[in-house]
Structure 1
């Protein structure tokens, strides 16, 4: 099951929403704080949020002063539950086929969505056209050491160099994500005119693990990769 349809599957959606309600995922305690730390000041910016889900990041950017936020997601169910803000506009579309006007944004963000996109290079090329010169692209994905194994494993890294689709069980069978190496990710950015600003691999502190023991495994290997890049003028 691919990302464009995954979050509209009722079994998957129920499991995912329970995970978020119980704060058992990576988002609230690890990923979102790390992502926000890489973002530029939002005041006055035209922002595109790819894979916005229920709009939490889009609303935060609007409240931080963004001039406008276009929040895009393929899931009708997620968008139906999205919070509203006068400077946030929601649009249902598969990221893989999204087309937007040239130079219409100053910042493109994406939170844990791009590992569902098969043609990352093609998407980066489109983002480079959507951004104004000097615009920023900040995103998070599952870390390649997590996505690499062909057979899911918590304690073994293999098949790292073999990029491509991986199937996992996550609330439902056959969830499809795409593995790509760190060097491949950075090469796509360079190819399309981006300059790397920051790369982060957040892991929980010992204090955070004491508060949230389910995060302990993530001290063994980084669960997330975050990238901030600027489009060269």
Structure 2
């Protein structure tokens, strides 16, 4: 199923008011960890899967990437991305992640930020990314952490006074769709365990370089005490892999 909530006007309006939609990468809590996994981008051809407003595409060009292609299923997202971009070496394409069909070894780096948990067949995407990467090319991705996606409610267990007691984890090994609430809308996310992510990459021909579950730093906690929740349970899972 190719889900496209972002072309719903109400949903898109709500999304546009999120801090990361206004403030860009610096307002995205996981950005520092994601950036640390990226290879040198100078002179590289980059593909961004689920590019949204194009923040990562423009960052890649700021780092002197040779060219960038961003794909997204949402026309609303792409319209905003194009409006925010003045760079002939960034191309935005209206395309579902599931439908990518690029030439062999077309890119040096493929990135995807918080998009692949909306895609049903992660293994197929891994094979397609492997196909379009050069030998030695890097695939960097972030998804919601499997501990976060295991239960559709994606919420704390609360005490009698409304205090957050613990984060419930259940049905962890029961992979598949979860109907979650996001921005006052029902959305389908796909729960996959940690092993499924890693094994899909390995079986597609990748070597894992590094993993991150985004443990907040003291600097992050000082700037935003809400990050204390991320010490209690991980929300993000980030992977860097290379095509040997």
TM-score, normalising length: structure 1: 0.92
How far has the Cα of 1:206 moved from its partner? 4.1
Which of these two proteins has the greater Rg computed from alpha carbons?
Answer: 2
Alignment match, 1:212? 224
Moved over 4 A (4+): 21-27
Larger CA deviation: 206-215 vs 33-42: 206-215
Residues 1:193 and 1:17: Cα distance change in structure 2 (over 3 Å)? same
Q: Structure 1 CA distance, aligned partners of 2:47 and 2:143?
A: 17
Identify unmatched segments of 5+ residues in structure 2: 157-166
The answer (yes or no) to whether the contact 2:7–2:76 under 8 Å persists in 1 is: yes
- Could you say what the CA RMSD is over the residues aligned between the two structures, in angstroms? 2.0
Residues 1:175 and 1:3: Cα distance change in structure 2 (over 3 Å)? farther
* Local SS of the residue matching 1:81: helix
Q: Structure 2 CA distance, aligned partners of 1:98 and 1:141?
A: 19
**Residue 182 of structure 2 corresponds to residue 170 of structure 1:** yes
Alignment match, 1:72? 71
Alignment match, 2:145? 143
How far has the Cα of 1:25 moved from its partner? 10
Q: Structure 2 CA distance, aligned partners of 1:24 and 1:217?
A: 22
**Residue 107 of structure 2 corresponds to residue 108 of structure 1:** no
Aligned residues: 231
Alignment match, 2:15? 16
Alignment match, 1:231? 243
TM-score, normalising length: structure 2: 0.88
Residues 1:222 and 1:194: Cα distance change in structure 2 (over 3 Å)? same
How far has the Cα of 1:95 moved from its partner? 0.5
Q: Structure 2 CA distance, aligned partners of 1:60 and 1:223?
A: 24
Deviations 1:72-104 (A, max 9, x none): 111111111112122211101110122111110
The aligned runs of 1:41-52 (5 Å cut-off) are: 41-52=40-51
How far has the Cα of 1:24 moved from its partner? 9.7
Q: Structure 2 CA distance, aligned partners of 1:211 and 1:39?
A: 24
How far has the Cα of 1:167 moved from its partner? 0.8
How far has the Cα of 1:211 moved from its partner? 2.2
Larger CA deviation: 146-155 vs 80-89: 146-155
**Residue 191 of structure 2 corresponds to residue 179 of structure 1:** yes
Alignment match, 2:210? 198
Q: Structure 1 CA distance, aligned partners of 2:102 and 2:112?
A: 16
How far has the Cα of 1:214 moved from its partner? 3.2
